[in-house]
A and B are shown apart, each in its own frame.
Chain A
Amino acid sequence: MADSCPYYRGLQILTDVCVGCSHCMRSCPTKALRVSGGKARLHLDWCIECSRCYQVCEHRAIKVMDDDFGNIFNYKYRILLVPMLFFSQFGDGIPQKTITDIIGDLGFTEVRAVEQGCDLVAEKLNEYIPDSTVRPVISTYCPSVIRLIQVRFPSLIMNLSPYIPPLEVTAQYVKRKYENAGIPSEEVGIFYVTPCVAKIASIKAPVGGYTTPVTGCINMDLLHDKVLLKYKRKDFKENGIKVSLEVSRNGMRWSTTRGEKHAMKKYINAMAIDGIGHVMEILEKTENDELDGVDFLELRACDESCSGGILVRGNRFQITADMHRKSESLPDKIPMLNEYRELCGDSMLLGKVEPRDVKRYGPDIDLAIKKMETVRKLRAELPGIDCGSCGAPSCEALAEDVVNGERTIENCIFMQLKYEKSGSLKVKNVVDIMEKIWGKKYDS
């Protein structure tokens, strides 16, 4: 299952560091992880890049992929799209002007707030939602939520907003601005500072028929550390970096929980949910048609939305509070909204989003029903305590793996006891089975 997957891999398990402790397996909301050979293994088709596994890994065995920072110098014009939460990581400790000077010193020629695109997205959504025949409309802001819908809730693909997220609007604006100035596109590099893995994946492998103008990603933790280091060492000079950090009140709040909800007109009944477990709960309800009267769903995979991204340094609650405080003195709209409308207004559509590998038991329904029946029978035999000793996250997952030929029922320690008692399994066999799953965790 490892390399056959066409989806971009934002997270990588470092097999030499992984001890196969199974903490990640138990935390995965889509049950995409197993343990075998003493290492965690990821089923890429089911991964939605929510990064729960990364958060719970005590051994730092999960690595976030990143682009080489040096790549920025392949371009004459090096534009950095920064989420405003980047600045809130430093609290009041370092002035914004100093941070942008350091970003210039690192090699960028322009820095721009990624939330500038929010006002235009809000405009489009406020027009679209009241006329939409499908309710609730689901935001396309969080890429992990889009992937979750593709993998687990394909019937809700039709509920997704048809518009690209603000990041893509801002990126288009930059691209067109440089085009209009007569600068060849190969001289322009647009880099996005990402707070999470899902955004990396959304740029490397965009969903829908959309092609992103974003050249590459800079991981937020990496940039934070580079900036902080230069600041502490006073190792930077003032420079001519072009700075455009104008954002509206809605723009500043957008990446926080209820950010989109606040940007909706009063007549739109919007609901905001953060945290992957809560998001799954509400998607189940939506799928069952149990959400009467809700027009719009703002869904974010991370607790506290983007402030809770795994690449964000600092405390997510403090960062959110800081952004809310800053937002209060900001204007309703960005000053260059007209220019945004002109440059991006006609190219805001995301394109068709396809479901991803939902047929767990293959394309033939007849065969799938038979497999499902076997799963139910096995499931009834298994103890139901979801101990994870078999290397699968639950008894149900083991039953499914057995039916799909990926594991055997003897992987269950309770079944082992049963077979030992009846004499069909020897202690030596049991040891072999357990070593195959967990590796040799003990001597002799």
Chain B
Amino acid sequence: MTLQFNVEGGDFARAGYASSQIKKILKEIGVDPDVIKHVVVALYEAEVNIVAHAYHGVITADIEKEGIRIVLDDAGPGIPDIPRAMERGYSTASPEVREMGFGAGMGLPNMKDNTDSLDIESVVGKGTKVTMYNKFE
């Protein structure tokens, strides 16, 4: 089953929409609650990243028997130094974003902790593509 969601940069009110929709579906098909929690936490972080940093993005989730693959493809500034962005506490978020309670530099590390695999490709000035996978068993 494939689901798609659009995300707009700066729209914090809608950040979390895709994760709550996917949570609902995973609950209904009977996925282990613990797995769902990890998926939701990772996806929420990724969604907020698009809202906070990019102009717009598309989230595509593929749900299969074995697990869920989520691709977040955005048009935005890109990440110049991915290893650095993976460090806990490192953040490039603007003061406005931090004032809203986001931008603590825990996004990418948190995503890594909550997924079975996390892959980030980025082109500076064009955008970022994050692929995450969580197994159901």
Contacts and interface: CB of A to CB of B under 8 A. Distances in A.
Contacts of A181: none
Interface on chain B toward A: helix, strand, loop, or mixed SS? Answer: helix
A332 interface: no
A358 B37 contact: no
Interface string A347-379: 000000001001111110110110111001000
Given A284-B20, A287-B23, A288-B23, A368 B30 contact: yes
Contact of A155 (B1, B19, B37, B64): B37
Contact of B64 (A361, A363, A369, A376): A369
Given A287-B40, A372-B25, A365 B33 contact: no
Interface in A363-400: 363, 365-366, 368-369, 371-373, 376
Contact of B29 (A154, A289, A290, A368): A368
A197 to B, nearest CB: 26
A288 B34 CA distance: 12
Interface string A407-424: 000000000000000000
B71 to A, nearest CB: 18
A365 B44 CA distance: 24
B36 interface: yes
A361 B30 contact: yes
| Interface size class of chain B, counting residues whose CB lies under 8 Å from the partner chain | 20 to 34
Contacts of B63: 369
B76 interface: no
B37 A369 contact: no
Contacts of A372: 1, 25, 28-29
Contacts of B44: 288-290
Contact of B33 (A155, A290, A366): A155
Contacts of A154: 33
B16 interface: yes
Nearest to A359: B30
B1 A288 contact: no
A277 B97 CA distance: 31
B29 to A, nearest CB: 4
B106 to A, nearest CB: 11
A46 B44 CA distance: 28
Contact of B27 (A289, A358, A371, A373): A358
B65 A365 contact: yes
Given A155-B34, A287-B37, A366-B65, A361 B20 contact: no
Nearest to B114: A289
Contacts of B27: 358
B100 to A, nearest CB: 13
Contacts of B16: 288, 290
B12 interface: no
B41 interface: yes
Nearest to B137: A365
Interface residues of A, number: 22
Interface string B18-51: 0110010101111101101100110010000000
A269 B28 CA distance: 32
Contacts of A288: 16, 19-20, 23, 40-41, 44
Contact of B136 (A358, A365, A371): A365
A46 to B, nearest CB: 13
Contacts of B37: 155, 287, 289
B20 A365 contact: no
B60 to A, nearest CB: 15
Nearest to A370: B1
Given A155-B33, A155-B34, A369-B63, A361 B28 contact: yes
B23 A369 contact: no
A361 B37 CA distance: 20
A159 to B, nearest CB: 11
Nearest to A152: B27
With a 10 A CB-CB cut-off, give which of B16, B30, B31 has the most chain A CB atoms. Answer: B30
B67 to A, nearest CB: 10
Interface in A283-338: 284, 287-290
A148 to B, nearest CB: 14
With a 10 A CB-CB cut-off, give which of B1, B19, B29, B136 has the most chain A CB atoms. Answer: B29
A405 to B, nearest CB: 16
A99 to B, nearest CB: 46
A154 B34 CA distance: 9
Interface string A127-169: 0000000000000000000000000001100000000000000
Contacts of A371: 29
Nearest to B25: A372
B43 to A, nearest CB: 10
A401 to B, nearest CB: 13
A358 B23 CA distance: 13
Nearest to B27: A358
Contacts of A358: 27, 30
Contacts of A363: 30
A371 B19 CA distance: 21
Given A360-B28, A363-B30, A369-B64, 4 more contacts: A154-B33, A287-B37, A361-B29, A368-B30
Query: Closest 6 CB pairs between A and B?
Result: A155-B33, A359-B30, A368-B29, A366-B65, A373-B1, A154-B33
Interface of B: 1, 16, 19-20, 23, 25, 27-31, 33-34, 36-37, 40-41, 44, 63-65, 136
